[in-house]
């Protein structure tokens, strides 16, 4: 119970916790930032860890000289790329283990082939956009692995998405994170970083389902 309470507090008050960690752990904070981002993107059961808000706060701390931007952003970029690669590999390994029958209640070969074709054709933009969506960025690499999207194509879009996400959000924190208005409304911004992308993703899924036409006999 205490662990859950700490995680909720860490997510909602990440600015205060990161500042405390910087003060208490000094250079070891870089290893911790690497670990948090790697686990959030690389372990499919840990999608609730902060991603966007962490990058934004780290960028703001870099602007005040409490962290080095090149080192922090570089390590978090590596963590994000390796995390997605790990998640993808888990998906490729687990797919055949879980769906081991040709056709059963757990596996539909036709649906699997359709998923594979979707990721080969549209998976690139999905992987890039998912970087900016909490929960989605954890599950999309896993599903791409299960669908057996080619590793070369996945790696390309993984790197592109990682660069846009990590460098983009940390740069936003660096340039805007210490503006007085931003500081005064930081909790609202953190909630926005958590909720808005998720709401947009749900709306997109709902709209796509509404546009589907039922098959006629």
Tens of pLDDT, residue by residue over 90-117, are: 888 876 665 554 555 544 555 555 555 6
Measured from the Cβ of residue 30, the count of other Cβ atoms closer than 10 Å reads 19
Reading the block at residue 71, the tokens are 């080192």
Low-confidence ranges of the chain (pLDDT < 50): 101, 106-107, 213, 215-217
Q: In the Cβ-directed half-sphere of 190, how many Cα atoms lie within 13 Å?
A: 22
Question: What pLDDT score was predicted for residue 177?
Answer: 77
pLDDT in tens, 20-46: 888 888 888 999 899 989 988 888 666
Each residue of 130-169: b (16+ CB within 10 Å) or e? bbbbbebbbebbbbbbbbbbeeeebeebbeebbbebbbeb
* Beta bridge pairs of residue 108: 103
Tokens 């080192």 appear where? 71
Measured from the Cβ of residue 216, the count of other Cβ atoms closer than 10 Å reads 4
Q: How far apart are the first and last CA of the chain?
A: 53
Question: What pLDDT score was predicted for residue 13?
Answer: 58
Q: How far is 137 from 142, CA to CA, in rounded Å?
A: 9
Question: What pLDDT score was predicted for residue 83?
Answer: 94
217 Cβ contact list (under 8 Å, min separation 6): none
Contact present, 145 and 88 (Cβ < 8 Å): yes
Question: What pLDDT score was predicted for residue 1?
Answer: 57
Question: What pLDDT score was predicted for residue 209?
Answer: 54
Reading the block at residue 3, the tokens are 């662990």
């Amino acid at each position: 119970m205490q662990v859950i309470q700490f995680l909720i507090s860490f997510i909602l008050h990440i600015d205060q916790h990161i500042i405390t960690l910087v003060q208490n752990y000094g250079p070891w904070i870089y290893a911790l930032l690497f670990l948090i981002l790697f686990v959030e993107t690389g372990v499919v059961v840990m999608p609730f860890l902060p991603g966007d808000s962490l990058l934004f706060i780290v960028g703001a701390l870099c602007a005040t000289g409490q962290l080095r931007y090149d080192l922090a952003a570089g390590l978090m970029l590596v963590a994000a790329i390796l995390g997605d690669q790990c998640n993808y590999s888990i998906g490729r390994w687990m797919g055949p283990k879980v769906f081991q029958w040709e056709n059963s209640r757990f596996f539909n070969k036709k649906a699997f082939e359709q998923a594979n074709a979707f990721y080969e054709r549209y998976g690139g933009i999905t992987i890039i956009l998912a970087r900016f969506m909490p929960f989605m960025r954890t599950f999309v690499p896993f599903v791409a692995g299960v669908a057996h999207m080619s590793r070369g194509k996945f790696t390309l879009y993984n790197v592109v998405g990682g660069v846009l996400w990590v460098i983009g959000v940390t740069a936003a924190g660096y340039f805007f994170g210490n503006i007085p208005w931003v500081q005064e409304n930081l909790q609202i911004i953190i909630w926005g970083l958590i909720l808005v992308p998720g709401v947009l993703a749900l709306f997109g899924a709902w709209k796509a389902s509404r546009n589907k036409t039922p098959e006629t006999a």
